Structure 1
Amino acid sequence: MPSPFPGMNPYLENPNLWSEVHSRLIVAVANAIVPQLSQNYRVAIEKRTYFNVSMELVGIPDVTVISRHFNSIGTQPTTTQHSSSTSVLTRVEPTLVKLPMPSTIKEGYLEIREGFNGKVITVIEIISPTNKRSGLGRDEYEKKRNAVLHHQTNLVEIDLLRGGKQMPLLEVKTRDDYRILVCRGEELPQGRLYAFSIRQPIPIFPIPLKAGEIQPEVNLQELLNEIYDQARFDLAIDYLLEPVPPLKLKDREWANVILQEQRRR
């Protein structure tokens, strides 16, 4: 069955699904761009790899064990009266805790390169949850982003996640559900922001190349709908539940009507 939403499907943002959505979307965008490029360009799928240590679980016990008092012969005290000469010992039992474990994070992105010299003309990023949380993932992404902008390379930044902290932009005070940022190197520091809500179709946007060249266009809505069908995400989503992260109240009411009309609820 097709996705029930006219735009971004909020259920695809679930951390249990997003990694697969991200991987499939990277490939789909690359395949959509290639036929629109001249023979001078190629689209490379690259990966950014780093180690991340989550501190969220530090010191959270699986089981809480309360210390018990034992008397001098090693048995638990009872209500029986003991003489004052009987010593009482405290035996400390261990508590199970979780340690912060390092994990390898791999994030895919696209580079449009000149075929004869490999020069990077455009970088295309699809934002991941780790990029929107404080920590190494965001630090690494912002470092890469700043390097791209510093060298005045074209940048396309696709953010299809409602949760987390959005990427920094000057003079933009509103918080939209989703964003697509298109920056031409020669026009920096200006960029073109496509901001849209969960109720709107994802806008078609251009991929900047060199000045004067025809820009390929990406119909991300069409690509996501195809991915939804190909991956059979309908079998992995329970529309009786609320999406993760949850929707705002008015959007939740709107989504409920949509899902009921399509008999998903």
Structure 2
Amino acid sequence: MATLEPVTVPLAFDDLDEIRERWIEIKRLPDRSLVTVIEILSPTNKTGSGRIEYLEKRKQWIRQPVNVVEIDLLLGGHRLPMRGLLPTGDYYAFVSRSNRRPNCDVYAWSIRRELPAIPIPLSIPDPDVLLDLRAVFAQTYDGAPYGESINYSAPLDLPLASEDRAWAEQQARAGAMEPRAGT
């Protein structure tokens, strides 16, 4: 049987290294007009050229009569630019209602608190709906092999105060995997 040795050649894919970002859009029927955008910030959204691209996309949303909800469950990277000081917290949800700009409701919480439910604004006069982040995180965790693929006994390399890092490591080692962002 004749065999050949392969020659390795890179693929001609311009976007091979491109990371595709996803977000959720809530639209009004029957005209499918955009009502609310929900974005869970990724590391790409928070650093480098990806941050610049994200902030441009964000600016386009905010210039429209669209509600924008941004959820930041990452300790690293830059926070979203705001005109005022952010409340103290490890994690944030930013709810920018189209009818209340330039103001934005900011929800902040520490690593030691459960993930909250946050309001998702719809078109006026429709009431907000609550997005239960804890339930979403739990369902995602339970539906994927994180328990087998993550070494919960390893030291955490997170930008936390030493007492918060020790607490998070203890939670991981104890197997008390209550759904919390970043642990």
TM-score computed with the length of structure 2 as normaliser: 0.81
Corresponding position: 1:118 with 2:24: no
Q: 1:220 aligns to what?
A: 133
Matched ranges for 1:31-180 at <5 A: 103-135=17-49, 137-173=50-86, 176-180=89-93
Q: Aligned partners of 1:200 and 1:167: how far apart in 2?
A: 21
Secondary structure of 2:112's counterpart equals coil
**CA–CA separation in structure 1 for the residues paired with 2:29 and 2:118:** 24
In our comparison, the structure showing a higher alpha carbon Rg is 1
Gaps of 5+ in 1: 1-49, 52-101
Q: Secondary structure at the match of 1:157?
A: strand
Give the distance between the partners of 1:175 and 1:214, measured in 2 at CA. 28
Higher relative contact order (CA 8 A, sep 6+): 1
Contiguous gaps of at least 5 residues in structure 2: 1-13, 178-183
Q: TM-score of the superposition, structure 1-length normalised?
A: 0.57
Change (3 A) 1:260 1:141: closer
Residue 33 of structure 2 aligns with an amino acid whose one-letter code is K
Distance 1:259 1:153 in 2: 39
Displacement of 1:134: 2.2
**Which of the residues 106, 126, 129 maps onto 1:193?**
106
CA distance in 2, matches of 1:133, 1:126: 14
* Aligned with residue 164 of structure 2, among 251, 259, 262: 251
Selected match of 2:118 from 205, 210, 230: 205
**Are the counterparts in 1 of residues 41 and 72 from structure 2 also a CA contact under 8 Å?**
yes
- Asked if 1:182 is matched to 2:95, the reply is yes
Alpha carbon RMSD of aligned pairs, Å? 2.1
Q: Structure 1, residues 154-197: CA drift from partner, whole Å, max 9, x if none?
A: 00001110000111111115553111011110011111111111
Between the two proteins, the alignment pairs up a number of residues equal to 164
The amino acid that maps onto 1:164 is G
